Amino acid sequence: MKKHWILSSKGLGNIFVAIILLFYVLFPMVVVVFWSIAEKWYPEHWWAPEKIGLSWFKALFKLVDVQLSFIQTFTIAPIVVALTALISIPAGYVFGTKSFPGKRLLENIFLIPLVVPAIATGISILSVYTAWGLRNTYWGVILAHMIGATPYMLRCVSAAFEGIDPAWEEAARNLGATRWQVVWKILVPNITPGILAGAIFAFSWSINEFVLTLLIGFPTVTTLAVKVYQYIGGYYITPNAAAAVSIFLTLPSIPIVLAMEKYVKAEYVAGVAR
């Protein structure tokens, strides 16, 4: 009789490693959940809160500025996604389907925004935005988020266009398809996964962006990331509120992680920095 897989020394070793890895990754998240529901937690009782409840969430929901940040965070991100897609698709089409001298150089040039430290970008755009009246505006923050989100979108869209075999287009043409039919039936369905992958990156970039939003948006436009900072490093430290806001900020990631498993292929990740 064959032994059950879990009883073999190899099986046990694998499970042991899996438990350690999961603990390492998930434990910090549990700590945030603890802080968000802790109503009483003294340092002597370090392992878990003494009294738990949802009062921090209830209190935060009532705060008008938190409501506003919530709305701002989750309306800015989709607009950033849409605009980055709009400006990246034409360029991605050329990168993915044509070859021309200097292509590699041009591709690298569009990765520069990821190499430049965020604070350097931040103080550079700060004075320019002030002069142009973009500081403390909703659109100013959107444009600032697009700086870092666009390289990811461009990379994903280019990879998607690269994956289209030119023979398909030719075949469709030979079979009498019109130009629009080629676009709708061949290009659109084949690049949609790439755009979705880019959208996932751009969306998470926008909700995670902190320093540019702090410099450009604060105090008029404060996304949830800035709110987290205000509660942990600002004038007063309230870890409970910071934890509750962190949970608002991280919850959308759950469907995103699941979507990522489905759409994001290794080649999309390969060319982009975090």
Partner 1 sequence: MKKLLEKLKKISLALYFAPLFIFYGFIFAYPIFLTFVRSFGLFPVTPKTPSEFTLKYYFEFFQPNSVYIPSLWFSFWNSVVTTFIAAIFGYLVALYFFKANYPGKKTVSALFKSPLFVPYLVGAFMWMEILAAHGYVNGFLKSLGLINQPLRLIWDPYGIGIIIANVWMNVAFMSTLMLGALESLNPDLTYAARNLGAGTWTIVRKIYFPLTLPAFLAGSILIFVGIFGAFSVPFVLGGSWPKYLSVVIYEDVVEHGKWVQGYVSAVIYIISAVILTYVYTILMRRMAGRK
Cβ of 77: how many Cβ atoms within 10 Å?
A: 24
Among 114, 172, 177, 182, binds partner 1 (CB under 8 A): 114
The residue (of 71 and 86) whose beta carbon lies closer to partner 1 is: 86
Among 76, 154, 159, 164, binds partner 1 (CB under 8 A): 154
Q: Closest approach of Cβ 175 to partner 1, in Å?
A: 25
Give the CA-trace dihedral at 112, 113, 119, 125, to 10 degrees.
Answer: 120
Q: Which of 138, 148, 104, 152 is nearest to 218 (CA)?
A: 138
Among 70, 161, 229, 263, binds partner 1 (CB under 8 A): 229
| Residue 68 near partner 1 by CB under 8 A | no
Which of these ranges, 64-72, 139-147, 159-167, 180-188, lies near partner 1 under the rule CB under 8 A? 139-147
Among 9, 62, 175, 261, binds partner 1 (CB under 8 A): 261
Which of these ranges, 58-66, 74-82, 170-178, 240-248, lies near partner 1 under the rule CB under 8 A? 240-248
The CA-atom distances, in angstroms, between 97 and each of 78, 94, 100, 189 are: 27, 5, 10, 16
Provide the residue count of the chain: 274
| Residue 35 near partner 1 by CB under 8 A | yes
CB 84 within 8 A of CB 153: yes
Taking the CA atoms of the chain, what radius of gyration do you get in angstroms? 23
CB 204 within 8 A of CB 149: no
Q: Closest approach of Cβ 17 to partner 1, in Å?
A: 6
Q: Closest approach of Cβ 193 to partner 1, in Å?
A: 16
Residues 6+ apart with CB under 8 A from 268: 155, 156, 159, 194, 197, 198
| Residue 207 near partner 1 by CB under 8 A | yes
The residue (of 117 and 176) whose beta carbon lies closer to partner 1 is: 117
- Per-residue burial over 150-186, b if 16 or more Cβ lie within 10 Å, else e, is bbbbbbbbbbbbeebeeeebeeeeeeebeeeebeeeb
Can you point out the beta strands (E) in 41-97? 51-52
The residue (of 136 and 250) whose beta carbon lies closer to partner 1 is: 250
CB 95 within 8 A of CB 158: yes
CB 160 within 8 A of CB 194: yes
Among 29, 54, 71, 183, binds partner 1 (CB under 8 A): 29
Map the footprint of partner 1 across residues 118-137, applying CB under 8 A: 118-121, 123-128
Q: Closest approach of Cβ 5 to partner 1, in Å?
A: 6
The residue (of 108 and 171) whose beta carbon lies closer to partner 1 is: 108
The CA-atom distances, in angstroms, between 67 and each of 5, 38, 62, 145 are: 51, 22, 8, 21
The residue (of 46 and 236) whose beta carbon lies closer to partner 1 is: 46
| Residue 82 near partner 1 by CB under 8 A | no
| Residue 7 near partner 1 by CB under 8 A | no
Among 54, 82, 116, 188, binds partner 1 (CB under 8 A): 116
